[in-house]
């Protein structure tokens, strides 16, 4: 592989790692803010029982972990080809 190919793999892997970590952190902040806001309301049934479930929090975290794994794979492949390719 050429130098530009390996560099592009490393850059794409780094970008995906950054976006994945940002998504996981964003998920935690959104979840914390949501539950903090709902716990101050008079009717806190949803807060206590967790019903109805909110899928957007899990989706953001799942997408973040997928991006982290793909970023590690791309960065690892780019590093592998840069050293031994």
What's the pLDDT at 84?
87
- Total structural domains within the chain: 1
C-alpha 12/C-alpha 68 separation (Å) is 11
Give 46's pLDDT tier (boundaries 50, 70, 90): low
How does pLDDT run across 66-77, given as a tens digit for each residue?
A: 999 999 999 999
- Tokens of residue 61, six digits: 């975290």
Domain that holds residue 27: 3-84
What's the pLDDT at 2?
83
Four-residue CA torsion sign, 54, 59, 62, 64: negative
* Residue 56 or 65, more confident: 65
**Mean predicted confidence (pLDDT) in 24-51:** 75
* Residue 21 or 55, more confident: 21
- pTM of the prediction? 0.77
C-alpha 20/C-alpha 73 separation (Å) is 13
């Amino acid at each position: 592989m050429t130098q530009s190919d390996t560099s592009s793999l490393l850059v794409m892997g780094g970008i995906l790692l950054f976006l994945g970590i940002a998504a996981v952190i964003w998920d935690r902040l959104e979840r914390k803010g949501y539950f903090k806001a709902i716990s101050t309301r008079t009717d806190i049934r949803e807060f206590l029982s967790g019903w109805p479930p909110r899928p957007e929090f899990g989706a953001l975290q799942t997408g973040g972990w997928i991006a982290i794994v793909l970023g590690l794979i791309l960065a690892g492949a780019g590093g592998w080809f840069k050293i031994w390719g």
